[in-house]
Amino acid sequence: MTVGLVIVSHSVRIAEGVVELAAQMAPSITMAAAGGTDDGGIGTSFDKVQAGFAGADSGDGVVVLCDLGSAVLTAETALDFAEAPERIRIADAPIVEGAVAAAVAAESGADLERVLAAAQDQAPAAGASAAAPAASGAAAVLEVELANEHGLHARPAAELVRTASGFDAQVTVNGVDAKSMLRVLALGLDRGTVARFEATGAQATEAIAAIEALAAEGFGE
C-alpha cells in the first residue's frame, strides 16, 4: 500500500490534468481528481472531495492538494466528516508542483507525514517516522555531465529522487537534497551541466553506484 493523493480544483479539467501529469512521474500511486461542482461547473463539491478521500486511501492515508482558498475550505469541511480524519493531510503547497513531489515521494514508499513534507518541500513534522540519521564518514562522490536533451527535467528528476530515496544515506546533487523533487527541479540543470552527487551514511557507496548506473541509462529516458 502507498499514500494516495486527492487533487481539489475549481475546474474539472485542472484536477484531471494535475492527476494526469503526476501519474507520469508516479504511475503506481492512487490519485483522485475532485474538480468542479456536482454538475461540472466551476467551483468545488463536498461530495466529490469526500469520494476522493475514500477512493484514494488504500490504508496508508491521503495527502490533499488544493488550488484556491475555497477549495481548501471544502476539503476542510469534508475532513470534518471523514471516517478516518487521522489519515488525511491537507498540504499547504502549490497544486501542480506539490502534487508531483508528493506522488514521487509516495511511490518511493514514504509514509503520510513524509509525503506531506515532500509536497510542502520541508522536513517531516516532529515525531513523524523517518529513517535514522545517516552515519558520518567520508562522502562518496560522483560527477556526471548531463546528456539528456532537456537536462534533469521532471521525468529524470523523478527517477533520481526515487533512486536516492531507496538508500540509508544523505544524498545531494549540486548541494541540494537529492530526495526532494522540488529542490532538484529548482536547480534547473540543463544538458551539458555537470551534476555533482555526494552521499554520506551507511549506504553512501551503494547510493552513488545506483545513481551512476541510472545516469548511464539516461535517467530513465
Separation of alpha carbons 3 and 30, rounded Å: 8
Q: Do residues 29 and 21 make contact, with C-beta atoms less than 8 angstroms apart?
A: no
Residue with cell 534547473: 188
Per-residue burial over 160-174, b if 16 or more Cβ lie within 10 Å, else e, is: bbbbbbbbebbbbbb
The neighbour count for residue 65, using CB atoms within 10 Å, is 32
| CA 91 to mean position of chain CA atoms | 12
Separation of alpha carbons 7 and 52, rounded Å: 8
The neighbour count for residue 158, using CB atoms within 10 Å, is 25
Q: Which residues are catalytic?
A: 10
Residue with cell 555526494: 198
